[in-house]
Amino acid sequence: MEVRLLRYAVTLAEELHFGRAAERHHISQQPFGQYIRRLEREVGTRLFERTSRRVTVTPAGARLVAEARLLLEAVDQLAEHARSDGAGRDE
């Protein structure tokens, strides 16, 4: 499971709109939707319900997004620690 796909799912859960969520990641809507479908295939369930008028988060999606937020926070902290530990070093 790619961290990037988890970030996309969290953003979509926040925006509840594919276009705005894609825009936040500086990609177009079509590939963004494909990435969300890829994540759904990977986990084996729908994370978002889509209609022509709206996007809602499924119960499985809400669970995944809640856990993804914790994981992404840890990943971001790990990256920050690595940067601060390596600051000033020429490698």
Q: Are 58 and 65 in contact (CB under 8 A)?
A: no
Q: What pLDDT is attached to residue 83?
A: 84
Low-confidence ranges of the chain (pLDDT < 70): 87-91
Q: CA nearest 39: which of 77, 78, 6?
A: 6
The pTM for the full model equals 0.88
Angle at 42 between CA 64 and CA 74, to 5 degrees: 45
The answer to whether the beta carbons of residues 72 and 10 sit under 8 Å apart is yes
pLDDT, residue 90, reads 56
> Is domain 3-85 classified as CATH 1.10.10.10?
yes
pLDDT value for 86: 72
